[in-house]
Structure 1
């Protein structure tokens, strides 16, 4: 019997902190764990995932741009994965992959728990409509946002995401070129990945989107989050949050699913955050 293996799949994937996070969780729980990062170009992902299972793979996290592919490769889906049409957590059981999505739960737990922010009653703007955006859209609605506007460079994808949410009137799509006419928002979430792996290009959007209590969230972390967070600070957002906490919290959800143990996320988050601060200071 091959040794049980776990991994995170993405393209690119060298930046991923997931192996460190899961190693830390495993030390807490006293679990021997083999968890690696596997680069999987979209065209090769099905074959790479199949080889991983044959070699003892028992669970996988999935990041950009593979979440919708992971959905299609799953034999069964949890209700939350089915609702959003994207999978970020795979479990191998009975010779099949079973898909879940822990992104939304991770984001809400980070914002409402770690940052003590109330999402209820906020008018929200979601930038992006890919697998990452799908993972958080339904969770934001469940957390009580008043309404959710979705904007994407490809309007058809925004329309498809809104249709999948099944809440007409409360969730709706808007054109990117018409953002200046949409008023302001109390929550703006960037779920695009344009900056990852390409350097810190500028993020541009009308600053009229921001009001005196706007919370700006980028589900990316590190270098990939810099452009949006810089825009948010320049626009005067009251709170600015990157995706590091979401990353840790969604990983905890997956770890509990695989191992039946809920890890303590605080020390893991604090260590990673302190390291990021040191890197910024060193620069």
Structure 2
């Protein structure tokens, strides 16, 4: 079973680095020839029944994942859950969904149309986790969504793919803390997300996170090719709970700032 999941994540990673070439360079920088363990992989979707969080999570659950936590992001109009596998070497998966009904009627029309265009059968296969965009959208529609929700715009342009992978700092051989990782990233010429500070969270919440700003890549819209933010790379340092076990959940206040890594123009 774990082998099947590892093969799935290899395909998800390969699709991710196609539009996030910096991730391969950062990965090599931190690995220094050794293995890098992924703490978690994140997905974005809409809360419409055909494509919602539970629809995507179903494929993970069939591969042995279990739901382990839920999170609310009121300002961004999002709801999320995270999933873990019994094999701790496999990444956790964080899936968020946009509460479409909280957007303007104009935005809802666009989102409902693109979801209506999706063939139900495509959602029944785990390949959907690296299917990319399976609908048409115009750049004008993308821009309209971006005015209301960067999340909605990103998802409308990129579709189903890993929004980011996350390096587990706990498992790195050459780095002991997130500050060292961040410095190495900056020294390597990469830009960090500094919304709310470079480091989100601290030891008191048992999780520290940082991330690069998203790469930019060409996307085909109805009007032609346009360069927009793609995906980013995150870094996580986890701390033990009172019982000595490493905390495996997420901190909503920190994740809220991590979402900003795909903002355009930041």
Q: TM-score, normalised by structure 2?
A: 0.32
Q: Which has the higher helix share?
A: 1
* Higher RCO (CA-CA < 8 Å; seq separation 6+): 2
Q: TM-score, normalised by structure 1?
A: 0.31
